[in-house]
Each structure stands twice: as C-alpha cells, then as structure tokens.
Structure 1
Amino acid sequence: MLIQFSFKNFKSFREEATLDLSAAKMTEFAERVVTVGSERILPTAAIYGANASGKSNIYNAFEYMSRYVADSFQYGDEEEKFEEFRPTPFLFDSTSPEAESSFEVYFTLPGDKTGKSYNYGFCVDKNGVTEEWLNSKARTARKYSTVFYRGNTEEELDLSGFPKNSRDNIQVALEKQVLIVSLGAKLKIGKCKAIRDWFLANEFADFGDPYTNFFLSRRLPKGFAEDKKVQQNVVEYFSSFDEHIKDFKVEKVPYDGESKEEKYKINALHQKIDSDEMAEIPLGEESAGTLKMFALYPELQEVLERGSVFFIDELNARLHPLLVRNFLLTFLNPAINTNHAQLIFTTYDTWQLSNQLLRRDEIWFVEKDDRGVSNLYSLADFVDEDGSRIRKDESYEKNYLIGKYGAIPVLKTLEVFKNALMQVSQEAGLSSQKKGS
C-alpha cells in the first residue's frame, strides 16, 4: 500500500509536495483504516482544486515516477529516449529549470506478512540521475536501514544491501540515466524486482485526456472475449448503475493481414419492451458514461485483485455523482476491498465532499498562487482564520464552495463579452448611418 508520495520541482510544484495516506489520529470511519506492520494506512485520497491549479500534475508526477522505474534501464543504450523523458521542472523562475526534480514513496508490498515497509526515491536533472536510494524497515524497527544509496559520483555508491555478484553486475552496467531499481530488476535481483513490480501493479486513468478515453474504452477486461463468465461479471457490474444491458455478443473480426492484435466486434444486448427478443447495439454507440464505466472495469478488477493503487484524473468526468460515490464505496468497503487496494483521484465533484463519506485526512486541496506555484494540503491539517482545525461535523461541501478552505477559482464577470457586444452594436449603428446617408 502507498503510505506517502512526495515530489519537488515538477511542473507547477516548485517546492516539495506530499500526499500522505497514513491515517491521522481521528475517530471517524476508523474501521476503514488498514494496519500493516506499524503503519495505519487509508484506502483513498480525494484531491480538489480549481481549473489549472495543479491537480493533474500530482497524477503526472506519480505516473512519471512509475514510468521511469519501469523503463529507465533502456535509457543508457538510447540517450534519445531519455531526452524525450526528462522531467518538466518548474519554469517560472530563474533557478528551477536547471535544478533537479525529486520523487519519493513510502509503501508496503501486497501480500507481505512480515509487515515490512520501504522508502524509495530518486532525483533527476536534465543530464540523468543525481541521487537514488532504497531503505527498508522491519515491523518492529524504529528506523529505516539502507539497502542501497547512490550519489552523484562513483564514490557515493553504497550497494551493501545486495549480494556481491549483484553489486558487481550493477557497477558494470549502471549508467547516468538509468535507475538502480530498473537495472536491478532487469538483472533479476530480487529486491529490485519487488520494488519495480510494485510500481508496475499500479493503474492510471486520465479521463481528462480524450486520447486516453478513446484507448481505455476499447480495452477489454481480462478473459472477456472468450469467457462467458467474465462477460456476466461485467453485466453484473453494469447492473449496479444501469440494468438495461442484459448481455454481450462478442464476435472475432476476421484477420485483415495488417494488425497483429486480435480484434472483436462487441454488441450490448438490451431487452425489447414488447417481446422476449434482444436488441443489439454496438458497444461504441452506448452513452459516454457507460463507455467510461466499461473502461474502468479492467483496471478496477486488476487493482482489487492485486491490492495496488488506482490513480484517476477527473474521475467525475461524464459520470453522475451517485455513480462516482458508488465507485468510491468499492474501495471504502473492507468486505469488498479485501486486498487493500487504494483509490487516489482528482475531481470537481463536491457531492463526495461529505463528512458522511470521507475522513478529513482523505480530503486534499491544491491551490495555485499568483506566482504560478501550486501547493497541496489536507483538510486534516487545515487551520481556519481563527486558528482552529476543521471539525468532523462541519459541512465540507458548503464551506469549500464559499471559499473557507481555499482551492477554488477566483471568478470575475465576463466583461469581455459585454465590451465585444457594445463594439458590435456601435459598428452596426455606424453602418446604418452610412447607408442612410
């Protein structure tokens, strides 16, 4: 489970930002807190903020870290790939563009009965990795111990947590743009592979991106094409919000000699109102909300099975607020979420901003100041103008919308349209006068 994610100098976040999923000392919804070793971890985090405040950049930062861990072993051989994958630093001052960006996580491994937790992170600039570290802590230990540490010079390389032959292999193959965890996993070093696989197990969905929407809506659930039981599971999943789809008809598209992937034609079957027959509708012609829920199913299935993290940008896009709530309750219900999967999502949907649904430490806000710098903070840590912390019986939605917690847009009247209409009216008047003369 993800305990904490921190990053610095990435896009609109100049200073270090920390998304903390460790449970604060509070009484509400105590039954949903998961205890792993000495850690008490939350199943969800909801991130609110105005348009262009930087919410999506948190998603981007976590996705960037995951992709770098997964793929960086390739960058030593092909430096052009690293050129394309450099992090985007904060650009609106004179020093940050040349400074390094940092990424760090604290987490536990799913299925690990020992209760061990890990701390992994790295710093990277325009030339490559400047620092990388992996530490671990046993259930009963007070401090983290070093597995490896890498500084900016060869003298600052400590691989003491690896067997000697693994240390030798890493030292021979390690390059400036490559992470030790990524390289070590490629070299089949067990500790590195476990960390790499934790990142690979996490899922991402950016529903603010039309290309992502297009791709996800065409991704089939595992076993869907050939297994009728899987199709019935999807029907049951749909029935939680729309009972009109009764079944699916799946036909394999004949091979066209070009695509290497198998293609399928999928029709949703609906009951006709005046007979026992079914009406067939191509899945692509279903509503945008239905397609989005279809797109969410494969990742949801895998995340719940693996006990991994599902990070969704703009979860509320094209979904009814009650449907978003139902999706969220899947993660908040320990009877369903038995493997302790986690949901992190950005949203504008204030229906979910309720003390009847979320704990204060599960609610986060992003606010951008007049310099273009984003700041991330939790409702649990927020102190109002009187110096008091937020009570659990407050109306979070009402107080947020009136600006008590910040992180809302500063609105002005759209005077530009008033001025434009006046100009059009004046020009029309002058044109009439000319015609009259």
Structure 2
Amino acid sequence: MLRSFRVSNHRSLADLQELRLTRGATAPVAVPVTAVHGGPAAGKSNLVDALGHMRDAVLHSVSGWDPYAGPVRAPHLALPGQPSDFEAVFMAEGVPYTYGFRLDAADVAAEWLYSHPRSRRRIVFEREGEAIRVGPMFEPARFGITALVPLVRPNALLLSLAGQMYAEALVPAYRWFETMLEVVAGSADIASIELRLGSHLSRSAENAARLLTLLQSADLGITDLLIAQNDPGYADYLRDLDADIAVLADQTDRAAGSAAYAAQLEQDSGLNATALARELTNMRNARDALYTRMAGRHGVGLRLVHTDVEPVFTLAEESSATRALLRLLPILLDSLDAGKVLVVDDIGAWLTVEETDRLVQLFQNPETNTRGAQLVYTTGDRALVDRGNGRSARTRTSVWTIRRSAGGASTLAVF
C-alpha cells in the first residue's frame, strides 16, 4: 500500500507537492483508485515520472548511475541549483515505512528511512552527507548497515546498496520498490508488449481465459489469442516453476488468513509468512527471467484471431487501440494478483472512456481486487473522472487536479 508521495524540484513540480492515496486521519485506509486530472502540459506526466524516478534511483543508483557524475535528476529549469526531494510513505511486509532522499547537483545530500510499528516512529537510518546514523531500535542490525557505509558512493543511495547486498533491516523497503510498485509511462515497442503478454498467458489457463474475456468485452472483434508452445528445452523448467509457484501462492494465502496455519507451516518448514512471501516473489521473478530467455531465442509467436477473418493477425497489424489494451491488460491483472501499486500515465490513450472505465473498475470492485491493489492514473478526460467519482464512497475514485501556473510550476490539489 502506498499512503502518500511527496516531491519537489522535479521537472515542472517546483514547490513541494504531496499526493495522498488514503482517506481518514487516525487510521488511514488505502483508496483503491486515485486519478490525477489536468489539461495538456499541466504536469501529469511529470508526476508519474517523479514516482518512476524515485523507484529507479532505489533500484539502480549503485549500478546504473555514473560514479563520476552527480546524481541523476531533472530539476525545474528555474531551480537548477536547488535540491530535489522525494519521499514515499508505504506499507511493506505489514509495517508502515517512510523513505526519502534529497539530491543536489553533486551528491545525495540526505536520505532517511523510518518504520512506524503501532504508529510510533522508529529511525532505521538517517543520512546527512557522509554521516549515517542507525536508530537505537535497530542496534542488532547496526553492523550490517554500517559495514556498507564505506562502500556507498556520495552520489548513490544507501537503500540501493543495502537492498542489493541484502542488509536485512533494509530489505523490506527495498523490495517494496522492486516488487510492489510498477510505473507505466511513455510508449512501448511491440516486442515488449508481446513479451509481457506472452509471459502472462503462458502461466496458466486461468490467466489466458480471464484476459481473453476482458479483451472480448472490448468489442474489438478478437475471439482468441495464440502464442507459441513452450520450447521443449524450457517446457519442463517452466512447468516445474509454475507448479511450485501455485503451491507457494496457496500457502501464502492460507498463512495470511489463518494464524494457526502460519504457525504450523513455520514449525514444519521454518518459513514464516514474510519469508514465504519473499520466496514466492523470487520464484515469480525466476519464472519471468526464464520465459524472457526462451522468448529471446524463439520469439513469443503472438497471433490474434478475429471474427469472420480467416488469416490471423500479428500485433504489428493491429490498431493502436488494440495494442494499447494489450499493453495494459497483463500489467493490470498482474498488479491485481500481487496486490501492487500500479501507476499509469494517460491511462485512456487510444481507448474509449467506456473501455478505460472497465479497466478502472477492476480495482474498484472488491471481487476482482482481493489483495488491496492500488491504481494511480493520470488523464486529461473529464468524462473518465466524473464516471469514477460518481460511485459509492467506498469504491469511488479519489480525484486530484494538477495545474501549471504562469511561471511554469505545477500544483496538485484535491479535485
């Protein structure tokens, strides 16, 4: 669950802006859908880019940023010398966390991570320049964190290094950015759409049937999807992984719903609910990597069957609307299955309001969103926002508006 996101001095977001994804002050409840509405060039894409930039910094500042340059950032054109701040409040492995960092032109000026068990703030670590302080409640983890301090470059994040080096106290926060937050922005090439779609369809017959049902409801004339059979050299491995994933998923669900089952499982296997969820994520990642390797050698072989049309179509032969929908569907369904936070820029591009609204309803409906997944999307279409806001107080869309001032600065406000 993502509770809030704060950013300043990133592209058109000059002053500090906060996007809240909960309602209620004393016991915040996650809102399943949050929409950000604005006109052309208001800053909608810059807000999504800020979330994507924060995720990328956590995952890649150690391995992907130039070690001899300053941190990767995109300050407002009028504020190149001012620092850029990013902060997210989220739930990871059942514990609330606050994580943020400040980037200036040369270094990571500050970085902080707090946990909030039972609504009490505990310092995991605080960083000011080269000085790093580990909180007293995390004394047992002090060695694991401080051992990394000499290895952290001035222009890289400690959380990025700690996640890759598996410093246990910091792993929950790192893994949240890695596995529970997905940002979709910009255009996607046909090959990447086919790969994601093929991986999703190949996991199970249930996945294929569910996606095809949603695709048929869009009234695009598509009656079936075809993908190549798994290469014999990979088929057994994929089948074994899918079987193991199914078992782990069932155990994870049962452990989450029954304390007695969780205790018995830990006694029998040594895996508690947290370790089980981590192992399930690892298995899914391994499965995706194996499928990607297979598709890289042999291709996905995606073909689309249309009503009363004899030849099958390739994705390149489909309309922009069909490609847009096929790009979104596996991402949306994977997010629902895993309880992710999904952020989509311009969700209705190439789609009708009715079709886009059906996708949004997947997150609003508790029967299709059983794991608390959240959808954050931007749109310039007022009709889509009005549809979402007209539903019940429990499921309606929380709507924000973004506007750009004469000075070129974007401002967020509740709609």
* TM-fit CA distance, 1:226: 7.5
State the secondary structure of the residue aligned to 2:23. coil
- CA distance in structure 1 between the aligned counterparts of 2:84 and 2:357, rounded to whole angstroms: 35
CA contact (8 A) 1:159 1:167 kept: no
Aligned match of 2:74: 88
Residues of 1 paired with 2:11 and 2:392: CA distance? Answer: 29
5+ residue gaps, structure 2, are 232-294
2:91 to 84, 96, 108: 108
The 8 Å contact of residues 182 and 192 in structure 1, kept in 2 or not, is answered as no
1:191 corresponds in structure 2 to 169
Structure with higher Rg: it is 1
RMSD across aligned positions (CA): 2.7
User: What code does the residue aligned with 1:38 have?
Assistant: A
Q: Deviations over 1:404-434 (max 9, x none)?
A: xxxxxxxxxxxxxxxxxxxxxxxxxxxxxxx
CA distance in 1, matches of 2:200, 2:130: 48
In structure 2, the CA distance between the partners of 1:21 and 1:59, relative to structure 1 (3 Å rule), is: same
Q: State the TM-score, normalizing by the size of structure 1.
A: 0.72
Q: How many residues align?
A: 345
Q: SS where residue 149 of structure 1 aligns?
A: strand
Query: Which residue pairs with 1:54 in the alignment?
Result: 43
- Cα distance in 2 for partners of 1:316, 1:147 equals 40
**2: distance between equivalents of 1:53 and 1:43?**
24
- Corresponding residue number in structure 2 for 1:378: 414
State the identity as a percent. Answer: 24
Cα displacement (A) at 1:159: 5.3
Q: Does 1:166 align with 2:144?
A: yes
Change (3 A) 1:5 1:330: same
1:74 has 2:63 as partner? yes
Q: Is the 8 A contact 1:9 1:16 kept in 2?
A: yes
Aligned to 2:208: 231
Structure 1: which amino acid aligns with 2:86? F
Letter in 2 for 1:184: A
The alignment partner of 2:301 has SS state of: strand
1:103-157 per-residue CA deviation (whole Å, 9 max, x = no partner) reads 00111125x2xxx311110101121211111111113x3x311111111242x53
Is the 8 Å Cα contact of residues 252 and 263 (structure 1) preserved in structure 2?
no
Corresponding residue SS for 1:353: helix
Is 2:262 the counterpart of 1:286? no
Range moving further from structure 2, 351-360 or 2-11: 351-360
Structure 1 unaligned residues grouped into runs of 5+: 26-36, 380-437
8 Å contact 2:88–2:100 — kept in the other structure? Answer: yes
- Write out aligned runs for 1:331-410 (5 A): 331-354=363-386, 355-357=389-391, 362-379=398-415
SS at match of 1:73: coil
Distance 2:328 2:222 in 1: 17
Structure-2 change in CA distance of 1:326 and 1:213 (3 Å): farther
Q: What is the aligned partner in structure 1 of residue 81 from structure 2?
A: 98
Deviation for aligned residue 1:263: 0.8
Normalization by structure 2: what TM-score?
0.76
CA distance in 2, matches of 1:268, 1:245: 7
